[in-house]
């Protein structure tokens, strides 16, 4: 099996970065990478120990962007408290999965990683630099010429080129780092609508993907990167990629393009072969904003349900990646409310998949790309509101415990950030991004008369930065279904690729 993991066609030809492969085989420098072979060998050993191995026809990879362990814990508690429980004993849908592993997230050049490098590891089996998408770490960031001959091919391309169906979903822009790593290769994650040198921008790569017949389902945000400046877009090359995508399938397959949740709900999936949905100009709304402002955007659960229904029409199987991108953005804004509510919405999407597929032939993986510096601290009593101020358990047996205070005499919250913009009180405003329009409010604040459980409260931070940062600790990987037994122990992040290829028994060569 190890030989199967590392074998590649000897006649494989390198292609320019501006184009994608038509048959997504893996070049020698990819399968020969130490990152690649070490994880392949480790997964082979684990596969040999399995007594219940089943081959997965389908793989669904859920990625909660920025969903570290502390986020899981806090979201688990909040979900329970929202239905009247104390919260601590609750479990998110995927926390009940039978197989779990810890994942090391570092990039080749950073202890604390970014999403481009981490998702590249999961999609190609090779770790790389921060900011680089599906390019080996020997290349330099934002240097198109240095990336030639270092392009890495993704699991999605391999699946697509073998006649299976593929799909991507994100609540962020579909050209953002995490979804982009499923289908593109770029030395600069920010080249979403334009690129330098001979490189192709990420949006163009998405609609032009030549592996198989292109991606079957693409749902998310980022419309501005596909249309011209005359149409309120970012493109200055005069190209409308939504029209180009429709023209690609004209007369051959039924392709449908939608821009709203209402339009998505009205699609006749039984008579649709290809589906593209771009629901917002940039990122989609935080889930709380989507609900409270009655935005005509589909939820991540609704997008997941739609995608699976369409992909299941392919009897050969499929690969679907679902990203909750705005968990990460809530944390960057220092707003635990939105980060946790988007995590709960993400768990709902996982439950939709669980209810919809057969685990006899489907592998479901749930993980993150990296963590954040939100922490849970103090000694709050059990059942204390996770978004609230710390109320300590009163060992004296008093009927009512009082809000705890720090040595400065002021109360503090259970959740806080090690760095970021710091305190803000926007009341009932659910849009965490508006925090960036307010000057950093440094230092400790008297929260005595502040409602810290409202959507617009932003937690205090110790070190003040323009944006809260990622964290470098391990994240979790949860697995259920065919091939899930491969997920155990502590793994390098690039091992996720090998879990998927081993579970599907996917040949890494063209034959």
Each residue of 35-80: pLDDT tens digit?
899 888 877 776 665 555 689 999 999 999 999 999 999 999 999 9
Contact 463, 494 (CB under 8 A): no
At residue 503, the 3 state secondary structure works out as helix
The pLDDT of residue 17: 41
Instruction: Report the alpha-carbon distance of residue 286 to residue 433 in Å, rounded.
Output: 10
Both structure tokens of 193:
């609508």
Binding-site annotation, residues: 65, 176, 178, 323, 328, 332, 369-370, 470
> Which is nearest to 72 in space by CA: 431, 496, 374?
374
- Cβ atoms 392, 366 nearer than 8 A: no
Number of C-beta neighbours around residue 356 at 10 A: 14
Q: Tell me: the pLDDT tens digits for 277-329?
A: 999 999 999 999 999 999 999 999 999 999 999 999 999 999 999 999 999 99
Weakest-pLDDT range from 8-12, 49-53, 151-155, 318-322: 8-12
Residues 304-337 as b or e (16 or more Cβ within 10 Å = b): bbbbbebbbebeebbbbbbbbbbbbbbbbbbbbb
Give the tens place of pLDDT for each residue, 183-198: 999 999 999 999 999 9
Is 429 within the bounds of a domain?
A: no
- Binding site membership for Mg(2+): which residues? 65, 176, 178, 323
Q: For residue 84, what are the domain limits?
A: 2-374+474-504
Count of residues making up the chain? 511
* E strands in 337-473: 362-368, 371-372, 374-376, 415-420, 424-425, 457-458, 461-464, 470-471
pLDDT in tens, 412-430: 999 999 999 999 999 999 9
Report d(CA 30, CA 475) in Å as an integer: 25
Q: From the annotation, which residues make up the binding site for Zn(2+)?
A: 65, 328, 332, 369-370, 470
User: Which listed residue (33, 93, 115, 324) is catalytic?
Assistant: 115
Highest mean pLDDT (candidates 17-21, 439-443, 458-462): 458-462
Separation between Cα atoms, residue 122 and residue 127, nearest integer Å: 8
What CATH number is associated with residue 369? Answer: 3.40.720.10
The mean predicted confidence, pLDDT, of the chain is: 92
pLDDT for residue 2 is more than 80: no
CA distance 244 to 238: 12
Instruction: State the SS3 of 214-264.
Output: CCCEEEEECHHHCCEHHHCCCECCCCCHHHHHHHHHCCCCCEEEECCHHHH
Are 456 and 332 within 8 A, CB to CB?
A: no
Residue 157 belongs to a domain: yes
pLDDT of residue 480: 96
Q: SS3 string of 8-39?
A: CCCCCCCCCCCCCCCCCCCCHHHHCCHHHHHH
Burial zone of 224 (CB within 10 Å; 0-12 exposed, 13-18 middle, 19+ buried): buried
In a domain, 40, yes or no: yes
* C-beta of residue 298 within 8 angstroms of C-beta of residue 279: yes
Section 150-175 average pLDDT? 98
Q: What is the pLDDT of residue 20?
A: 42
465 is a domain residue = no
Specify which residues 476 forms β-bridges with. Answer: 102
Checking if the pLDDT of 102 tops 50, the result is yes
Backbone angles phi, psi at 136, to 5 degrees: -60, 150
Q: Determine contact, residues 274/256, Cβ cutoff 8 Å.
A: yes
d(CA 262, CA 275) in angstroms, rounded, equals 14
Return phi, psi of residue 228, to 5°.
Answer: -80, 170
Rounded to the nearest 10 degrees, what angle do helices 495-504 and 115-124 cross at?
A: 30
| 124 inside domain | yes
Domain presence at residue 233: yes
Tens digits of per-residue pLDDT, 453-505? 999 999 999 999 999 999 999 999 999 999 999 999 999 999 999 999 999 98
- Helix or strand (DSSP H, E) at 64: strand 58-64
> Could you give the number of structural domains in the chain?
1
Provide the terminal-to-terminal Cα distance of the chain, rounded to the nearest Å.
16
Q: What is the reported pTM?
A: 0.92
Give φ, ψ of 257 to 5 degrees. Answer: -115, 130
Residue 13 has pLDDT above 60, yes or no: no
Does 511 map to a domain? Answer: no
**pLDDT at res. 10:** 31
- Tell me what percent of the residues of the chain surpass a pLDDT of 90: 86
86 flagged as catalytic: no
Structural domain includes residue 65: yes
User: With contact defined as beta carbons under 8 Å apart, do 232 and 224 qualify?
Assistant: yes
pLDDT (tens digit per residue) in 204-238? 999 999 999 999 999 999 999 999 999 999 999 99
């Amino acid at each position: 099996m190890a030989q199967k993991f590392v074998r590649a066609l000897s006649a494989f030809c390198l292609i320019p970065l501006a184009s994608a492969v038509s048959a997504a085989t893996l070049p020698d420098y990819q399968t020969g990478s130490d990152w690649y072979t070490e994880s392949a060998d480790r997964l082979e050993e684990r596969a040999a120990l399995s007594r219940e191995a089943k081959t997965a026809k389908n793989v669904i990879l859920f990625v909660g962007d920025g969903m570290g362990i502390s986020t899981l814990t806090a979201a688990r508690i909040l979900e329970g408290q929202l239905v009247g429980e104390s919260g601590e004993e609750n479990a998110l849908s995927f926390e009940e999965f039978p197989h779990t592993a810890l994942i090391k997230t570092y990039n080749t050049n950073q202890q604390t990683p970014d999403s481009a490098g981490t998702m590249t590891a999961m999609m190609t089996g090779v770790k790389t630099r921060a900011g680089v998408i599906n390019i080996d770490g020997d290349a330099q960031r934002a240097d198109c010429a240095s990336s030639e001959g270092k392009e890495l091919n993704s699991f999605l391309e391999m699946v697509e080129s073998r006649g299976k169906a593929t799909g991507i979903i994100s609540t962020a822009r579909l050209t953002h780092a995490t979804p982009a790593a499923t289908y593109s290769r770029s030395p600069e994650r920010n080249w979403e609508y334009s690129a330098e040198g001979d490189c192709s921008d990420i949006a163009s790569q998405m609609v032009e993907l030549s592996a198989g017949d292109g991606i079957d389902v693409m749902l998310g945000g980022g419309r501005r990167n596909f249309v011209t400046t005359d149409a309120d877009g970012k493109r200055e090359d005069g190209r409308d990629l939504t029209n180009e995508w429709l023209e690609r399938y004209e007369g051959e397959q039924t392709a449908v393009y939608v821009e709203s949740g209402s339009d998505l709900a009205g699609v006749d999936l039984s008579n649709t072969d290809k589906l593209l949905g771009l629901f917002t100009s940039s990122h989609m709304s935080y889930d709380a904003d989507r609900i409270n402002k009655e935005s005509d955007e589909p939820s991540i659960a609704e997008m997941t349900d739609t995608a699976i229904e369409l992909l299941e029409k392919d009897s050969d199987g499929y690969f679907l990646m679902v990203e909750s991108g705005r968990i990460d953005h809530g944390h960057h804004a220092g707003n635990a409310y939105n980060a946790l509510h988007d995590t709960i919405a993400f768990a709902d999407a996982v439950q939709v998949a669980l209810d919809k597929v057969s685990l006899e032939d489907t592998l479901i993986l749930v993980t993150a790309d990296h963590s954040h510096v939100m922490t849970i601290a103090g000694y709050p009593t059990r059942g204390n509101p996770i978004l609230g101020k710390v109320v300590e358990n009163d060992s004296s047996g008093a009927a009512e415990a009082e809000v705890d205070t720090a040595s400065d005499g002021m109360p503090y919250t259970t959740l806080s950030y090690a760095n970021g913009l710091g305190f803000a009180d926007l009341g009932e405003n659910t849009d965490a991004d508006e925090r960036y329009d307010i000057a950093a409010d440094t230092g400790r604040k008297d929260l005595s008369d502040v409602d810290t459980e409202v959507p617009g409260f932003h937690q205090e931070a110790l070190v003040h930065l323009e944006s809260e940062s990622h964290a470098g600790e391990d994240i979790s990987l949860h697995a259920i279904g065919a091939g899930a037994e491969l997920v155990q122990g502590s793994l390098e992040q690039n091992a996720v690729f090998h879990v998927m290829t081993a579970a599907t028994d996917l040949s890494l060569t063209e034959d």
